[in-house]
Structure 1
Amino acid sequence: MQRKAIALLSGGLDSTLAVKVLLEQGIAVEALNFTSPFCTCTGKNAGCKSEAVRVAEEFKIPIKVMNKGADYLEIIRNPKHGYGKGMNPCVDCRIYLLKKAKEYMEESGADFVITGEVLGQRPMSQRRDTLRVIERESGLEGLLLRPLSAKHFNPTIPEQEGWVDRDKLLSISGRSRKEQFELAEELDVKNYPCPAGGCLLTELSFVGKIRDVFDHSDQLNLRDFRMLKLGRHFRIGRRTKVVMGRNEAENELLERAIQAGEAALRWQEGKSPLAAVMGESSPELLERAAQILLRYTKAEPGAAATIAVTCDGAESEFCTTNALDEAAVEALRL
């Protein structure tokens, strides 16, 4: 009887190798890939999702792409196991992913779950003690196999039952990737995918923006966090934020992202970035948004200016003054 494993395939080299090691043993593998608004992997067009799909196609295995949902945002807001250097709840994140994998394993009739985790590679989530916590709290004790570091741990049920040959598993540990590169050569794995991408939650420059969304949202939604990758952000009211495009490509993305009731502002008299006013709006808030916008145009300081407004398909305009100096604008910037 052929056994089946569910693999967390991130789009990185380690998870790709873990899948390949199991395929070499005749195990049927189905991949799971999770998308996140916090991923910074920007390989051409689609980043890690694209890489994971490419690897699955190359290995001729099925893949299911799942979104980290609103429940994941609540984990970020209040992680049981705390944060890393930024707002990254790495231990809680792994538990979340593996709980989802366990559910899918049971739904799909698979026997166990595999990951590309390597003992000691990541300081927060891949220590021996935290790996045990992750396995226990995900509900996968005995059914979570880490092929690249398997020989550093007690045999799992797949090894004990003879579904997987333990002798053909690895004992990689630490942060050096030399052994992974050698294994890739041995297994004929080419075109290495991006090395697991990056996460905005670890970037200190983004922590303020992320906290701002949590602090000013009645209801969390993924769109507000996806927007953090675009433009310059300014908080102008308890429920109002301005996002300013930094180039024409961002202007176009912002214009497409604007939702019902939100406004797009441009300077009428000259070339201008687009300012998206998100959240509650009022004449006073629109004027403050326009004054921020004018600081990124060639409008003369103190000069009157006409602002074009688009909201819910309707167009209008109003006049204001380029009255904010750089210090005042920076005080509002996130």
Structure 2
Amino acid sequence: MKRKALALLSGGLDSTLAVKVMLEQGIEVEALNFTSPFCTCTAKSAGCKSEAVRVAEEFGIPIKIMNKGVDYLEVVRNPRHGYGKAMNPCVDCRIFLLRKAKEYLAASGADFVITGEVLGQRPMSQRRDTLRVIERESGLEGLLLRPLSAKHFEPTLPEREGWVDREQLLAIQGRSRKEQMQLADELDVKNYPCPAGGCLLTEVSFVSKVKDVFAHSDQLNLRDFRLLKVGRHFRVGPRTKALIGRNEAENELLSHSLQAGEAAFRWLDGGSPLGVLMGTVTDELLDAAAKILLRYTKAEPGQPCAVKVVVDGAERHLSVSNDFADPEIEPFRI
């Protein structure tokens, strides 16, 4: 009987090799790829999602794309196993993904799950002790096979039952990618991306933006976190945030992100980025946001300026004094 594996496929080298090793043994594989508002992929390229899709197409295997969802935001806010150097809940994240994989296991018709994890490669989530915790708390004990480091662990059920030939699995460990690159040559795996982090939660500079959303949101939603990658962010009120585009691409993204009751605003008399006021919209908050916006234009300092404001399709003009210098803006900056 031919066996099937469900693979967590990011499109990076390790997960790609894990899939290839299984295919070489005649194991049927279906890929599972997760998207997140914290992925460093750009909206234009779809980044790692497109890499995973490319690999799946190249290998001729089906792939299912899943969004991590709002329940993942709660994991980020309160991870049981804590954070890494920034706000990255790496251990809890792996448990979350593998629990989702377990839920999908029966529907996919797969017998076990594989990942591209390598013992000792990542300091938080790929230590021997944390790998055991991840396996246990995901509910996949015995059914989670890590082909690249399999020989460093006790045989899994697929190995014990002879579904997978353990002798053809690997014993890679550590942070160097030399063995993976050599294996890629041997298995004719090409065009893989360079190793990179891929998660904004590992970036210390990004933490303040994430904490700000958690602190000022009555209800969490994915859109607020997706927009953390777009524009300059300013907290102008307890339930109000101003976003200022940094280029035309961001202006367009902000324009398309507007929801009912939110305001878009721009300086009328010259080149200007687009500003968006999210949350509670009042004239007082608009005035502060418009003053911040004018700091990123060529408007004359100290002069009154006309600012066009559009809310739900209704347009009006505000007269705003351009009197904010950098020291006045900094308290608002997130």
**Alpha-carbon distance in 1 for matches of 2:229, 2:18:** 31
For 2:310, the aligned partner's letter is T
Deviation at 1:43, TM superposition (A): 9.7
Which position in structure 2 is the counterpart of 1:302? 302
| 1:171-182 matches, cutoff 5 A | 171-182=171-182
RMSD: 1.1
Which position in structure 1 is the counterpart of 2:13? 13
**3-state SS of paired residue (1:6):** strand
Which position in structure 1 is the counterpart of 2:76? 76
CA 1:194–1:63: 2 relative to 1, 3 Å: farther
For 1:69, the aligned partner's letter is G
Gaps of 5+ in 2: none
CA contact (8 A) 1:12 1:197 kept: no
Which position in structure 2 is the counterpart of 1:252? 252
**Alpha-carbon distance in 2 for matches of 1:72, 1:65:** 15
1:270-302: CA deviations, max 9, x gaps? 111111101111110111111111111111111
- Residue 334 of structure 2 corresponds to residue 328 of structure 1: no
**3-state SS of paired residue (2:297):** coil
Which position in structure 1 is the counterpart of 2:96? 96
CA 1:221–1:258: 2 relative to 1, 3 Å: same
**Alpha-carbon distance in 1 for matches of 2:43, 2:317:** 40
Deviation at 1:42, TM superposition (A): 4.3
Moved more, 317-326 or 207-216: 317-326
For 2:325, the aligned partner's letter is D
For 1:235, the aligned partner's letter is R
For 2:245, the aligned partner's letter is G
**3-state SS of paired residue (2:310):** strand
CA contact (8 A) 1:11 1:196 kept: no
| 1:278-289 matches, cutoff 5 A | 278-289=278-289
For 1:263, the aligned partner's letter is A
Which position in structure 1 is the counterpart of 2:27? 27
CA contact (8 A) 1:41 1:194 kept: no
- Residue 189 of structure 2 corresponds to residue 189 of structure 1: yes
**Alpha-carbon distance in 1 for matches of 2:55, 2:234:** 40
**Alpha-carbon distance in 2 for matches of 1:219, 1:44:** 28
CA 1:196–1:56: 2 relative to 1, 3 Å: farther
**3-state SS of paired residue (1:236):** strand
Moved more, 247-256 or 22-31: 247-256
**Alpha-carbon distance in 1 for matches of 2:16, 2:77:** 31
**3-state SS of paired residue (2:266):** strand
Gaps of 5+ in 1: none
Deviation at 1:193, TM superposition (A): 3.2
| 1:118-197 matches, cutoff 5 A | 118-195=118-195, 197=197
For 1:192, the aligned partner's letter is Y
Which position in structure 2 is the counterpart of 1:38? 38
**Alpha-carbon distance in 1 for matches of 2:157, 2:191:** 33
Aligned length: 334
**Alpha-carbon distance in 1 for matches of 2:220, 2:137:** 25
Deviation at 1:194, TM superposition (A): 4.8
**3-state SS of paired residue (1:310):** strand
Deviation at 1:235, TM superposition (A): 0.2
| 1:52-71 matches, cutoff 5 A | 52-71=52-71
For 1:223, the aligned partner's letter is R
CA 1:168–1:44: 2 relative to 1, 3 Å: farther
For 1:306, the aligned partner's letter is A
1:8-41: CA deviations, max 9, x gaps? 0011100000000000000000000000110113
Between the two proteins, what is the percent identity of the paired residues? 75
Deviation at 1:107, TM superposition (A): 2.0
Moved more, 167-176 or 298-307: 298-307
TM-score, normalization by structure 2: 0.98
For 1:96, the aligned partner's letter is F
Moved more, 187-196 or 95-104: 187-196
Which position in structure 1 is the counterpart of 2:238? 238
